[in-house]
Amino acid sequence: MSPLRMLGSTSGYAELAPSAVAGDQTFTLPGTGGTLDRLNRAGNVLQVVNATYSTTVTSHSSTYADTGLTATITPSLASSKILILVNQVGLGKVNNHYLGLRLVRGATTLITFENEAGYTGSTLNQRVGGSGACYLDSPNTTSATTYKTQFNSTDNGATVFVNNNNVTSTITLMEIAA
């Protein structure tokens, strides 16, 4: 059997040569929508989900509330890890208080990534800018899994906010083969 030669678009080529081992060999290429490396090899990114939210949300409570930033991924393998990248922006507080931010999966808190955003030690109003998180989760499921951010005020009655002036916060979920 002769080698299969694929010519480059302008020059050069790639060659697929038959095995030196006797017997039938099968080499399967992915469909037109796939890539050559579709193996669930450790470290491969199997899928990416991205979501944004850009509506101002305020709270006056020390009880955590949803920021509106949420994304759902359905892992293809139960052994996969999910890498979560969060950029929560437009943070601020009124008076001598501050806000907290956390990342949750369903009803489970994964991390608190901000505890004192906007703290000044004074009654000044404060716009913080943003805060982010990078977290590697092991949900151990092939069911749809939702991740979201939540925020709170340090004191009931004190105003805190996210996405001030409707700036855009982002969350990215990447399924990583284990």
Q: Name the 3-class secondary structure at 165.
A: helix
Grade residue 155 by pLDDT with cuts at 50, 70 and 90: confident
Q: What is the pLDDT of residue 158?
A: 82
Q: Report the domain count for the chain.
A: 1
Residue 29 lies in a domain: no
Is 20 contained in some domain? no
**Residue 42 CB coordination number (10 Å):** 10
Q: pLDDT band for 156, please (50, 70, 90 cuts).
A: confident
What's the CATH code of the domain at 75?
2.60.120.760
Within a domain: 34: no
DSSP track, 112-136: EEEEEET--SSS--EEEEEEEEEEE
125-153 confidence digits (pLDDT tens):
667 788 999 999 999 999 999 999 999 99
Task: Give the pLDDT band of residue 24 (cuts 50, 70, 90).
Answer: low
Q: How far apart are CA 176 and CA 86, in angstroms?
A: 17
Q: What is the pLDDT of residues 48-100, one digit of tens each?
A: 999 999 999 999 999 999 999 999 999 999 999 999 999 999 998 887 678 88
Residues in contact with 42: Cβ distance below 8 Å, sequence separation at least 6, in sequence order:
177, 178
In this structure, is residue 31 part of a structural domain? no
- Does any domain span residue 156? yes
Show the domain range for 51: 45-176
Query: What's the CA gap between 167 and 157, in Å, rounded?
Result: 24
- Amino acid code (one letter) for 68: G
Tell me, yes or no, whether 99 lies in a domain. yes
Does residue 5 lie in a domain region? no
> Does some domain include residue 114?
yes
